[in-house]
Structure 1
Amino acid sequence: MPRRIEAFNDQWQYMADFSPAYIEPAFNDASFEEVCLPHTHKVLPYNYFDEKDYQFVSCYRKHFTLSSDDKGKIIFLDFEGVMTYAKVYLNGTCIGEHKGGYTPFSINMTEHIRFDEENVLTVQVDAREREDIPPFGFVIDYLTFGGIYREVSLRVVEPLHIHTIYAKPQDVLEPVKAVHTDIAIINKTGKEVTFDLQLTLATRDGKQLATSYESMCGSLETLDCTMILKGLKAIQLWDIHTPCLYTVTVSIIMDGVVMDAYTSLIGFRTAVFTAEGFFLNGKPLTIMGLNRHQSFPYVGYAMPKRVQQKDADILKFDLGLNTVRTSHYPQSTHFLDRCDEIGLLVFEEIPGWQHIGDAQWQETACQHVSDMIIRDRHHPSIILWGVRINESVDHHDFYIRTNAIAHQLDKTRQTGGVRARENSEFLEDVFTMNDFINGRNGDTRIARSQQETTGLTYQVPYLITEYGGHMYPTKRFDQEERLDHHARLHMRMINHVHLDPHQSGGIGWCAFDYNTHHQFGAGDRICYHGVMDMFRLPKFAAYAYASQIAPSEKIILEPVTRYAMGERSRGGITPLTIYTNCDRVDFYIAGVKKGEYYPAVTDYAGVPHPPIIIDKLDGTWGSNWSDGLFIGYVRDKEVIRRQYACNPVLTNLDIAADDLELASGDWDATRVTLKAVDQYGNLIPFVDCIVHVTIDGPGSIIGPQAFNLIGGERALWVKTHGVPGTLTLTFAVEAFPNKTMMIEVK
């Protein structure tokens, strides 16, 4: 029968230490805490904590039973991610281990399963920063939260089963296309086998488009073959606007019975970096992206599918990006799947940060290259492999090897290696560079020239992979001038990469604030480098990106102002930057029109939608100050109004959930945002009122249930407990009646 894959995430027992006694099947783990995966082995404060708090060895145990119906089959346990070192025991016997927290691994349990009786699985999890495992060995500017923080699956297959498939679209830009599929088959029967392979291409709704058959015979333990589907017509290309996906299925058939089937989603597209820029499906595209850390408040990395997918949606639909870099490690498959579905390009790289360790360390890093590419090479969203340790020094032999591994496993994609040093040895296909000139004290340049960074006399494929960030860290609740300057730094670079014909684009540092080690950040264990905070709430810099969204998709009109006469150093609200995709903005004070204002095309000629800048307004400190009104027009038609109060007062607490319906089964979660607003619905940024949240029903709040707003707003995540029901959230805030929200768990 075909493979069976079951979620293996619930009813784990957890203890925040480890003893050899825990390995014994008879050990009484009644004192352990029952948890569901994904799980962080230490819930942390939002800020001001010691990163050593999560760097310890812990234990996970799970009791389970398998029917004797599975006798004679091969039984795997598939881990998506365990931070940082995992050693796995079954019924008291060590059956495998894995080094590295960001790549998947599988454990074959077959020889040690006891059928029709209880089995005890024990996982020792070492979350210490071990010098033998990348990215460790020196300091790193991010935290590596411990635990079995991604999902685990039970996989049951026949002795003859499919190990991997790699479906590669061919002739993508031709009217008639093809798919070459490399197939690796494992034969654990111990004898020669004869069988048929069936390869099928279908639409996502199941309509079959093409099928091919191949007869196979062999006795080797590993059997490899390539199957080709030719003559494919009317295939829609995958791109950022129409991310069309197709299903490739390979089946093993014996005597007319399907013994195994392996399915993968693919997209037909070409993605090529050249000295003249980046081309998607043969058309030039300027990359506009941000870096993403996968961390969240309180639980670090341990968030489920829905929350991982939401990050992709925020990047694509809220910020208007076309690209994300998975800094500095492979990220959740749920996140990458969503990038495929919505058309968000991905630059994915191996774990690491500046440091290169010894030979064994490098061996592990090379394994990470292999694991990353084998796991993710079917994703059409991925356009570049990062095979160099982020910002590391040159290491010829090591990087010759990482590039060779990437090119051997995937001949369809180019490689990049992110560096921060000029004249670095160029071994990859694309010169990827972190350029922080923009914002550096005393330097008026926006970016270095390509020749300055490469040291070469000729143009090469070139991509700026970080800018901004630590050059101008900005808190969402900072003073207006700093927020304005932060946004302008990002806008300058967005404009710059659109103007340079030899740039493939830019990926800014970074999307979201993140927790970090004490050597970095603001001293409270947070790097405030994001255009959004850790709760995914926007700073003004977020609108520099969002304003490039086509007005047919969403209207953006965001003046960078608190609309207060005393917020800036010398008073007033000018020069006033308005991030908008409108053709024109009219501004009124006290109902009197102050002017019609147009995009600053001269200063920002590269971007589709330059900001509007108002340099002067009538009015002086303490006088002539009244309510303001901004009206946006597209093709002379009014499309949006934004009104501002000269005397804002706290009027309401707006509460909204990303989702009002969650799923039972494995735990699910959604974000709820809380925003203090004035009489016109605008954020009141300096309110710090205390919110008390209670929840009734089969769920809980991640993090504290009483907290202050930060800069006038905050968010929380609500998690389910795996069973259906209604979650009723009650929000109590002084000066307001209690508010309630209901979320259904189906």
Structure 2
Amino acid sequence: MINAIRLTCILGGLWTLTACQPADQPESSSSPAVLQTTEKQQPVSQTIGFNKAWQFKKSKDDVLPEDIKGDWENVSLPHTPQLEPEVVNDQWQGTAWYQKSFNMPEDWTDKEVLIRFEAAMNSAQIWLNNEKVGEHLGGYLPFTLDLTPFLTPGENLLRVKLDNRDNPVTGPKPLHLLDFNTYGGLYRDVNLLVKDKLMITDEMLAQEVAGGGVFVTYPRVSEDEALVNVKTQIANHYNEAKTFRLTQSLSFNGKTLATETESYQLSAGSDKHFEQTLSVNAPALWSPDSPSLYTLTTTLSREGQVTETQTRKIGIREFAFNDKHELLINGKKTFLRGVNRHQEYPFTGYATSAQADYRDAVKIKSAGFDYVRLSHYPHSQAFMEAADELGLVLLDAVLGWQYYNSDPAFEAHIVQSCEDLIRRDRNYASVIAWECSLNESDMPDAFIATLSDTVHRHFPGAFSAGWEYGYDIFVQARQHRLQHYETPGQPYIVSEYGDWEYYAQNAGLNQDSWQNLKEDERTSRQLLNSGEQRLLQQALNLQEAHNDNFTVPAFADGYWVMFDYNRGYSDDIESSGIMSIYRQPKYSYYFYRSQRDADQLDARYDSGPMVYVASDWQPDSSTQVRVFSNAQEVALYLNDKLVAKQQPDNTPLTAHLAHPPFTFDVGQFEAGTLRAEAIIDNAVVADHSVTTALNATGIRLNIDESGVAPATGVNDKVFVYAQLVDDKGNPVFANNITLSATVEGDIKLLNQSPVVTARGEGALLLEIGDTLKGATVTVSGKNLKPATLTF
């Protein structure tokens, strides 16, 4: 290495810029005029989206690519092999093929061409021009292949064979015994990476320990100063040594704060890691309440030309624990109220979109949560990015659920999954720890030690987490705690709570056995159409369990679960979600929302003062009316007459809650309007009302935009809700009313089951095409005035 030039530029604090001239920084409207260069600005390397113009078909297992016959279906990604019914009682498993033709331009002849699959379920084999170029096992993490030796000038044919049947090496369990569904297909993005032969390596292809690609860490984090260390692996595939310049540039809100440029030389056919450190004065630190993100731009140039540029969002923050095992985020003691998430959508399974994942994150944050356990497998990078932006702390997990295989191939695959998970997600600010653990699976002590050590080797200083002792962080479900609790001597998360302990008497690890089930009306598993009484019982269960979690020294808890979901072992929907599988809120959603303080405000999600009347206010409704609010007082009115103004409930079930509910004794039912007003410092800051509805006569349509509008050209999946209303426009909460839906334009209705109302609302799932021009959806029903929504 020749360290001939070292130009370090530190640009003041967040609001002060000092002149500096980094040689490889391109001029832009957001950069000071002094940041100029004479180098060419169009990078030689490029990333090409490869989601369009695929063909798909199912086939027998033993077919070779050259023997595939018959018609192919034209598809684009993300894609699922089969649209499933609302209740997935026979998920498709088998062999599926994808193929795509593309041309190799002449200017690729001196480049290297890689292909990166973000996920392919579950066992993948890849051919280019009928020559096998690689394979990958595991359906949740990326893999990258080098296509360069197999490309030919002109047209090339790429073929991918996927097998999503049960696999003893990947686990997690045979589908008919599994608590969730795994689905199939190329359900995340595919990209072609065209690179100069002097390149920033792809971290998945490089397979380095604590390296490959770009790896960002923070050796020092304080309110006064932070150090940002950037470790970049460069590979030189030329047959001669190359001198190059590597530049790291850090900006915030469009203002460049620091840059560092160094010149190096790399011998032919070699690769090496280079570390550069940037200093930031008075940094804006990332936290759940203030998720500040910086833009880090990594620029590689040689011979006066920019050859590759990578840009990523990073958050400067520190997760640490004190001697009481309390969590400190940037030195501040923090309790994380959280939830578990399954990523599936109805009908399409895992094949959603980046926009759909963002809407999920907005819903989770709006519900009052600051932490998500990604159960029980790696979720999409789009969700990770949304968590970074919105301020959701994540517990990142490998695939695993009540299954261990002593075969060395199984253990090796889990270790490899742990390594790849860290490679993919190590730069996300939101990740607090790595759950390289098989959830609720009896693992040998030596294997636990190997997994925890894998975390430490591939991310020095990071925390491992697991449900058995031997990890840095112990995660334990409340149902297990109630059976055999010992005060932990290490940082502790309540991994799950609020469902199983109210559903079954046993706390065993064979969940599909369903032993000693409790009465339906007592459980937390209540569909949106279960009725007011059962939805209130669900909310009460969650309140009791969440309150109880504060009696143990946990620094976080995660309710099970955010959204209802399907299960391989059961022909019904697991309904303990605080939202339906269609992302419609139940009463319990508002309980959690009320736990966020009223003074926390963010325009990107529902926040601030809130109040919600948890009643349908019908003749059979409870006259003990429960109201959720984060206010000091609530006043309840019935038909504009004050029922009472009171402070929150004060009972053993509310003793530890941030904001207990308010229970009002209305006396007797009287048709009309219940209106609640939230009061802080003697001022009304929010209100909510519910009215006794008449018979439904019409429909009101709403599109779910949750932070992002429907997007074209990316196979976006969007919910449209059809709410029954009476003549006065009041919501009607009638269940099981069948609705009909039609669409026009470049959109597709994905529902594979009849649209019926739950709590008065039907849900449609639409796939957005390449344009919304002329796109409409119309919903009708018997004796109901139809409604049309125009995009």
TM-score by length of 2: 0.84
1:270: how far off? 0.8
Q: Aligned partners of 1:348, 1:544: CA distance in 2, in Å?
A: 26
Q: Aligned partners of 1:613, 1:8: CA distance in 2, in Å?
A: 55
Deviations 1:424-458 (A, max 9, x none): 4x211111111126xxxxxxxxx649xx53x46x6
Match of 1:11 among 53, 61, 73: 53
CA gap 1:738/1:481 in 2 versus in 1, 3 angstroms:
closer
1:23: how far off? 1.3
Deviations 1:57-90 (A, max 9, x none): 1111111111011012111111011111110001
Q: Which residue is 2:491 aligned to? A: 461
Q: Which residue is 1:503 aligned to? A: 554
Q: Which residue is 2:186 aligned to? A: 148
Match of 2:536 among 476, 480, 484: 484
Match of 1:607 among 628, 635, 657: 657
Q: How does 1:279-358 map to 2 (within 5 A)?
A: 279-317=328-366, 319-357=367-405, 358=407
CA gap 1:515/1:624 in 2 versus in 1, 3 angstroms:
closer
1:665: how far off? 3.0
Secondary structure of the residue aligned to 1:477 is: coil
Give the partner amino acid of 2:659: H
2:699 and 2:779 in contact (8 A); partners too: no
Q: Aligned partners of 2:362, 2:639: CA distance in 1, in Å?
A: 38
Identity %: 26
Match of 2:79 among 29, 33, 39: 39
Secondary structure of the residue aligned to 1:315 is: helix
Q: Which moved more, 1:689-698 or 1:269-278?
A: 269-278
Q: Aligned partners of 1:431, 1:221: CA distance in 2, in Å?
A: 42
1:204: how far off? 5.3
CA gap 1:19/1:290 in 2 versus in 1, 3 angstroms:
closer
Q: Aligned partners of 1:741, 1:203: CA distance in 2, in Å?
A: 39
Q: Which residue is 1:639 aligned to? A: 685
Matched, 1:77 2:115: yes
Secondary structure of the residue aligned to 1:16 is: strand
2:498 and 2:546 in contact (8 A); partners too: no
CA gap 1:197/1:592 in 2 versus in 1, 3 angstroms:
closer
Q: Which residue is 2:674 aligned to? A: 628
1:289 and 1:324 in contact (8 A); partners too: yes
Q: Aligned partners of 2:61, 2:568: CA distance in 1, in Å?
A: 28
Secondary structure of the residue aligned to 1:489 is: helix
Q: Aligned partners of 2:733, 2:711: CA distance in 1, in Å?
A: 34
Q: How does 1:238-317 map to 2 (within 5 A)?
A: 238-274=286-322, 275-317=324-366
Q: Which residue is 1:440 aligned to? A: none
Deviations 1:469-490 (A, max 9, x none): 2333121111333222211121
Matched, 1:105 2:143: yes
2:397 and 2:435 in contact (8 A); partners too: yes
Secondary structure of the residue aligned to 1:730 is: strand
Matched, 1:551 2:591: no
Give the partner amino acid of 1:172: V
Q: Which residue is 1:656 aligned to? A: 702
1:134 and 1:364 in contact (8 A); partners too: no
Q: Aligned partners of 1:175, 1:642: CA distance in 2, in Å?
A: 44
2:698 and 2:787 in contact (8 A); partners too: no
1:20: how far off? 6.0
Secondary structure of the residue aligned to 1:171 is: strand
Give the partner amino acid of 1:530: G
CA gap 1:210/1:192 in 2 versus in 1, 3 angstroms:
closer
Q: Which residue is 1:442 aligned to? A: none
Q: Aligned partners of 1:429, 1:490: CA distance in 2, in Å?
A: 28
1:561: how far off? 2.3
Matched, 1:513 2:560: no
Give the partner amino acid of 1:428: Y
Q: Aligned partners of 1:75, 1:206: CA distance in 2, in Å?
A: 34
Q: Which runs of 4+ in 1 moved over 4 A?
A: 18-22, 26-29, 623-627, 678-683
Q: Aligned partners of 2:179, 2:112: CA distance in 1, in Å?
A: 41
2:750 and 2:766 in contact (8 A); partners too: yes
1:593: how far off? 2.8
Secondary structure of the residue aligned to 1:673 is: strand
Give the partner amino acid of 2:471: E
Q: Aligned partners of 2:531, 2:768: CA distance in 1, in Å?
A: 38
1:99: how far off? 0.6
Q: Aligned partners of 1:739, 1:504: CA distance in 2, in Å?
A: 48
Q: Which residue is 1:57 aligned to? A: 95
Q: How does 1:336-735 map to 2 (within 5 A)?
A: 336-357=384-405, 358-417=407-466, 419=467, 424=468, 426-436=469-479, 448=482, 453=485, 455=486, 459-470=489-500, 471=503, 472=523, 473-498=525-550, 500=552, 502-518=553-569, 520=570, 523-524=571-572, 526-552=573-599, 553-567=607-621, 572-574=622-624, 576-603=625-652, 604-614=654-664, 616-619=665-668, 627-646=673-692, 648-650=694-696, 652-659=698-705, 661-678=709-726, 683-704=731-752, 707-723=755-771, 725-735=773-783
Q: Aligned partners of 1:204, 1:174: CA distance in 2, in Å?
A: 18
CA gap 1:628/1:201 in 2 versus in 1, 3 angstroms:
closer
Q: Which moved more, 1:366-375 or 1:196-205?
A: 196-205
1:2: how far off? 3.5
CA gap 1:681/1:385 in 2 versus in 1, 3 angstroms:
farther
1:691: how far off? 2.0
Q: Aligned partners of 1:679, 1:499: CA distance in 2, in Å?
A: 50
Q: Which moved more, 1:556-565 or 1:101-110?
A: 556-565
Give the partner amino acid of 1:133: T
**Structure 1: any 5+ residue segments left out of the alignment?**
438-446
Q: Aligned partners of 2:200, 2:649: CA distance in 1, in Å?
A: 58
Secondary structure of the residue aligned to 1:207 is: strand
Q: Which moved more, 1:601-610 or 1:428-437?
A: 601-610
* Residue-pair matches, total: 703
Q: Aligned partners of 1:645, 1:728: CA distance in 2, in Å?
A: 30
2:632 and 2:648 in contact (8 A); partners too: yes
Q: Aligned partners of 2:277, 2:336: CA distance in 1, in Å?
A: 33
1:667: how far off? 2.4
2:83 and 2:752 in contact (8 A); partners too: no
Secondary structure of the residue aligned to 2:774 is: strand
1:706: how far off? 5.4
CA gap 1:237/1:431 in 2 versus in 1, 3 angstroms:
same
Secondary structure of the residue aligned to 2:460 is: coil
Q: Aligned partners of 1:432, 1:540: CA distance in 2, in Å?
A: 27
Secondary structure of the residue aligned to 1:366 is: helix
1:645 and 1:680 in contact (8 A); partners too: no
Give the partner amino acid of 1:165: V
CA gap 1:578/1:670 in 2 versus in 1, 3 angstroms:
same
Q: Aligned partners of 2:147, 2:314: CA distance in 1, in Å?
A: 31
Q: Aligned partners of 1:161, 1:577: CA distance in 2, in Å?
A: 61
1:694 and 1:705 in contact (8 A); partners too: no
Deviations 1:92-144 (A, max 9, x none): 011011111110001111111112x2111110010101112232358321000
Q: Aligned partners of 1:377, 1:57: CA distance in 2, in Å?
A: 33
Q: Aligned partners of 2:112, 2:672: CA distance in 1, in Å?
A: 74
Secondary structure of the residue aligned to 1:362 is: helix
CA gap 1:681/1:100 in 2 versus in 1, 3 angstroms:
farther
1:681: how far off? 5.8
Q: Aligned partners of 1:136, 1:188: CA distance in 2, in Å?
A: 42
1:180: how far off? 1.2
Q: Which residue is 1:67 aligned to? A: 105
Deviations 1:171-214 (A, max 9, x none): 11151221111222222224433322222222253635222324
